[in-house]
Structure formats: C-alpha cells, structure tokens
Amino acid sequence: MPIDNSINNRTFEELFSGPVNFEIPFFQRSYSWERDQWKTLLDDIWEQIIIDVVEQIKNENPRENISLDTLEKHLTEHEHYFGAIVVLEKSNSHPALKSFSVIDGQQRITTAYLFLVLVYELLKEKENQSDYSQNYLNQLEVYIKNNIDPKGDEYRLLKIYSNKGDRLPTYLKVYKDNPESPSLGVDLQLYNPNSNQIDAFWEYAYKKLKNYTVADLYVFSQAILRGLKIVWIPLDEKKDNPQAIFEGLNDKGMPLSAVELLCSYLFKPLIDENTKHHENIHNDKWLKSIKKVGGEHNFEFYLRNLFCIGKPKMIGKGRKLYSNFKNSNKKLDKLIAYNIIEEIAKNIELFNQITQPTKAEYKHPNKDINTLLIKIEQTRMQSSIPFLLSVLIERKKEKLTDVDVVVILQTLLILLVRRKVCAISNNKYDVFFPSLLNKIITEPDKKKAFKDMVIKEDLWVSDQEFEEAFINKPLYKQTELEFTRLILQELDKTYQVHGQLPDYSTIHTIEHVMPQTLDEEWKRYLGVDATDINLDRFKNTIGNLCLISRPANSSVGQNPFEAKKNVYTDVSGLTRDLKTRTGKWDIEAIKKRSKDIAKKALDVWSWD
C-alpha cells in the first residue's frame, strides 16, 4: 500500500514497502536506545501482540489449528500502538525513491528495521532447517532492501538512512561489506564498533533471537510488520517548522540532551543538502571537540563555561544551557553559526589545559603558567574555570602577556586557598568569575585590580581569619585529599634548605601523627584529651599532619609519638620539624604546631 500524506495509523509493512528512504535528519541524535528499551519492545511483541493474537484465535475457534495465514490476518487487525512517526516528505534526486525526513520517531523506526534485518540474517543461518526459509527470506527482503540502481551511492539501498555514524554499521548489517558511497571516508572515521549503539543492539538482540525456530522468527517479523501500529504524521514544509517540532518532542524514555539540541540549533543555518558541507563541519569540529574533551558530559560542562564568559553569572546545567544560548542567539545566520562552532573547536585545548594540566598532551607551554594551573586544579574550585578560560583565551589573542597571566593566576590561587582553608561558602563565585576579566584586563596593575574586586565583592580573607582557620579548622577531609596534599607540599617546601626539594611523588601520603582511630595505648597516653569533644577536629588540623611515603605510613600505623619520630625521615621538611618537637603529643601540642605552621602559610599565600 503506498504511503499517503494524511494522518493515520500505519504499519511497518506499509512504511517499508517499495523503494523508500527514511532519512534521519542532520539535527537528530544518533541511534541511542539501550537495553531497557530493547527488552521492553521485545517483551511487548511477544506478550502483547503474538500471545494475545494466539489466545484470541483460540477463543474464537478452540478446535481450529492456527495457520500462518490466520495468524497474519489477526496480526493486521490487532492494535498495539508503538508511538508516532513524524515525517517530512523530501524532494529526491533519485527518481525511483520516495524519501522522508524523520522528525520524530527515529529510535522506533530504526529499532523495528534492525529487528527485521536481524530476523533476515538468522533465517539465512537456519535456511537448511525448514523448507519455508527461502520463501520467508524472499518476503522479508522487500522490507529491508531497496531494489534500485543506487546511482553511485549504495546507502540508497537501505530503508533507513542516517548521517551521524549510524549508516555504515546499518549497511554492514544488511550487506556485509562497505558501500560505494561518497560518504564512506567520513563514515569510516566516525564509526567505532566498540561504542556504536547499532552494534550494541545487534549483540543484545542476536543473543535473544538466535535460538528461535524458523517459524518463530517469521511470526516475530510479521508481528513487527503487521502488529506494531504507529501514528503516521506527515508535515507540510510550507506550514510546519521541523526544527521547532523536533525540539518539542522526545523519543520514548530518551529526553534530548542540551548538547543534542545545541547541535541541532547551531547547524540549522549551515545545512546544505546539495554539498553536504555541514557534515564535514560537524565531523571535523563538533564531533572531534566532543571526543577531545572526553565525551558529551564534559563537553556540556565546557560549553557552560565558554558561553558564560562575560555574562552576569554561570549558566545552568542541561536544558538551561540550551535555553540560555538560544535566547542569546535568536538571529543565527550561517556566518554567526560557523564562527561559534569554530570558537568552540579552537578553545577546547585551553579548557583541557585548565582541567587536565598534569597530562603531557595538555600542559601549557609556559612552565610557570602550567604549574599554577596544576595548583588551581588541585583546589577543585571549578567555579573559577570561566575566568581561567577567559584569561587563556585573551593570552592566545595576545591581549595579555605571560607575565600578566602569571600574576593573575597567582592572585587567584591565593583567593581560592584562603577561602577554602577558612571553609567559606563559594556561592558568590558563580556571579564573580564569569565577568571578572572584563573588569581588570585594561588596568595597568592587574594584581591590584583583582584584589580591589575581591574586596568590593566581599570575598576578602584577612590574615587573622586565615591564621585562625589553620589552627582551628580541619584541613584533612577524605573528599579533599588533593587540596590537603597541595597545602602540605607548599608548606613542606618552606622547611627545605638550599632550595633542594624532594620528589613529592614518592612522599605524597598524608600522615596523621596522632592516629585518626586511637587504640588503647594512645587513649591511656592522652588521658583526659582522649574524651575531649574537639579531639577529632584537632586531629585533622595542619598541626597533626605531614607527608610521608606509603610504606612508611603503613609501618608507623598506631605507634606512639616517640616511636613515630624515630621512623620519620629527614626527606620531608614537615617530618623534620616533628622530630624537633618534644613533650607530650596532645591537643595543645597540635595547636602549638598549627600556630607555627600558620605563620609560614601567611607568607606562602600572602596578598602582598
């Protein structure tokens, strides 16, 4: 039955009859259904279609043997709705093909098609097990392959045509070899069998269907072709906006991500069905950027930081990112869209220098800047990333010098360390950092300008507050070990002589002089302090901490203070200091050492 242009209920038998292309438009996501959706559909086909139909036939004619003709007739009459397929008919350069863009329903139509392809392949494997196999294969082939001259692009032989890395694995499932196509080179770059969801579906579904009999496979295919009903919704290109409809619809159980919506919106002005140049831009800039930053989740975080530069505050997560971008870019033409995509791609490297500064491939070429980026990253204060990114972008444009950047990063590090040691809320950071560089970049003394903004926004931490925090607030927290190591290493350096520093990669274990958990010997040793309500807090302050090697940490364990001192080496400046401490190691001793170390901290993280 030919597909008409009215809203009506349809079957996949009708959709896949004759030469037809259901093209997944560029602004759609790639195939993304997962095990839960596959299992639900598989269960529905058997339990709510096939079994229901068989029981209905038995109830109507208890003594009648159920023939395939009877089963097929009842499957066609059975109503099990699978959702909507929203399409826009396309003008097609191939005269033998009817072509549609799938605006919504991509996951449903692709899954149904893949199940039919799998049944076809399994029937070929079991061809010798039944006299009917060849007949079934001949029937199914009509719904899987377009019997046409592909005119130089063998992807036209598929019923489902995607362009985001899915068409090659789909073609391979049907034809077992690479197609002759001008798109093959790009697709070979995009296709990764280890992460492609078409392959994941095939692996899952093959295990589920491989033990079906020939008859079961045929009945299963007929249940898909005849029993699954979809609502066919054709759009009128002159009246309907496919992009707007796409944004307002979600696939079953798979809401569209902010990155998918952004991709759709950004590339809309660039789409050229004749040259397909937008596909090259998408592959070379958009997809490579996602890969470089480590996946879609990190890419969204990157975009939030990039897009909020110069704005009043940090942009929210998820749909808030998309809404914010769309509201800020309502008049998005081809040139603006391309420039934004270019900006996104060229600043990925700078973002990685900030978030992964210890990796060799992401190290900033200036050693001093890289060292400061490592220390800032160890504070885990990600709210400062928009500011850091803006600084590195302006340095790349040569609007800042390396000296400017070092001064700015040093001041930032002091701010972050002082406030974190004092355990002050960072709620203000989301409105402080995005536009900060704009306020200081033209000032001749950027350090002073930075400090003035810190004071103006009430983010200043005085020496007195900083010192008191070192004495009274716990520095050691299980969730902040990198920050604790940073503080201990920087302080340890102040105890080293002649500028010779140890290899801190070998002495990076945080040691509690008074153990975190006290045994009976330590409790007797401490006396009344063992029951002091503040003991746990003081055990985690700077005065009770040092850096030692992992083997040394294991060996000292619960040893008494004097025994520990004999084991501590002179490599670490903080352990050398401990070896000079005499008397009982109790709360007062810890507070005394915290005060001594705090004075050094005031020099290390000095505003001046």
For 382-398, what is the mean pLDDT? 97
pLDDT at 8 over 60: yes
Query: Rounded CA gap, 65 and 429, in Å?
Result: 74
- φ and ψ at residue 95, rounded to 5 degrees: -65, -25
φ, ψ of residue 277 in degrees (nearest 5): -65, -30
Phi-psi region of 220 (alpha: psi -120 to 50; beta: other; left: phi over 0): alpha
> Which of helix, strand or coil describes residue 296?
helix
Greatest mean pLDDT among 1-15, 322-336, 369-383 lies in 369-383
Two tokens, residue 503: 């290899």
For residues 304 and 321, the answer to whether their CB atoms sit within 8 Å is: yes
Pick left, alpha or beta for residue 582 (phi over 0 → left; psi -120 to 50 → alpha; otherwise beta): beta
Two tokens at 128? 């010798």
Contact 467, 599 (CB under 8 A): yes
Confidence band (pLDDT; 50, 70, 90) for 159?
very high
Query: Taking 70 as the threshold, does the pLDDT of residue 2 lie above it?
Result: no
- Residues 126 and 214 sit within 8 Å (Cβ to Cβ): yes
Of the given ranges (50-59, 177-186, 396-405, 525-534), which has the lowest mean pLDDT? Answer: 50-59
The predicted model gives 432-458 an average pLDDT of 96
In the predicted model, is pLDDT for residue 255 greater than 80?
no
- Residues with Cβ within 8 Å of 106's Cβ and at least 6 positions away in sequence, in order, are 24, 28, 29, 31, 251
Amino acid code (one letter) for 113: Y
Alpha-carbon separation of residue 144 from 81, 177, 474 (angstroms): 22, 16, 66
Pairing mode, strands 8-11 and 228-235: antiparallel
Cα–Cα distance, 218 to 213 (Å, whole number)? 9
SS3 for 194-234 is CCCHHHHHHHHHHHHHCCCCHHHHHHHHHHHHHHEEEEEEE
Helix (DSSP H) and strand (DSSP E) numbers for the chain: 32, 8
Q: How far apart are CA 408 and CA 400, in angstroms?
A: 10
How sure is the predictor about 252, in pLDDT bands with cuts at 50, 70 and 90? very low
User: What does the mean pLDDT of the chain come to?
Assistant: 89
| Predicted confidence band of residue 501 (pLDDT cuts 50, 70, 90) | confident
* Tens-place pLDDT, residues 25-41: 877 778 889 999 999 99
DSSP 35: H
Average pLDDT of span 541-546:
95
Looking at residue 46, the DSSP 8-state letter turns out to be I
So what's the pLDDT on residue 78? Answer: 73
Is the pLDDT higher at 592 or at 26?
A: 592
In 10 A of CB 525, how many CB atoms?
18
pLDDT at 417: 97
Strand partners, 474: none
- Which pLDDT does position 585 carry in this prediction? 94
Report the range of poorest mean pLDDT among 274-278, 437-441, 483-487, 569-573.
274-278
Question: In the chain, where are the structural domains located?
Answer: 8-250, 277-461, 465-604
Going by pLDDT thresholds of 50, 70 and 90, the confidence category of residue 58 is low
Which residues partner with 406 through β-bridges? Answer: none
Report which of residues 291 and 598 the model is more confident about: 598
The stretch 76-100 carries a mean pLDDT of 82
In this model, does residue 9 exceed pLDDT 90? no
Show Cβ contacts of residue 289 under 8 Å, excluding neighbours closer than 6 positions. Answer: 299, 344, 345, 348
Question: What does the longest C-alpha to C-alpha distance in the chain come to?
Answer: 101
Q: How far is CA 560 from CA 391, 520, 523, in A?
A: 50, 11, 11
pLDDT, tens digit (0-9, with 9 covering 90-100), for 104-158: 888 999 999 999 999 999 999 999 998 888 999 999 999 999 999 988 999 999 9
Q: What is the pLDDT of residues 258-314, one digit of tens each?
A: 888 898 889 888 888 777 788 888 888 998 899 899 888 999 999 999 999 999 999
Q: What is the pLDDT of residue 89?
A: 86
Task: Specify the pLDDT at position 64.
Answer: 53
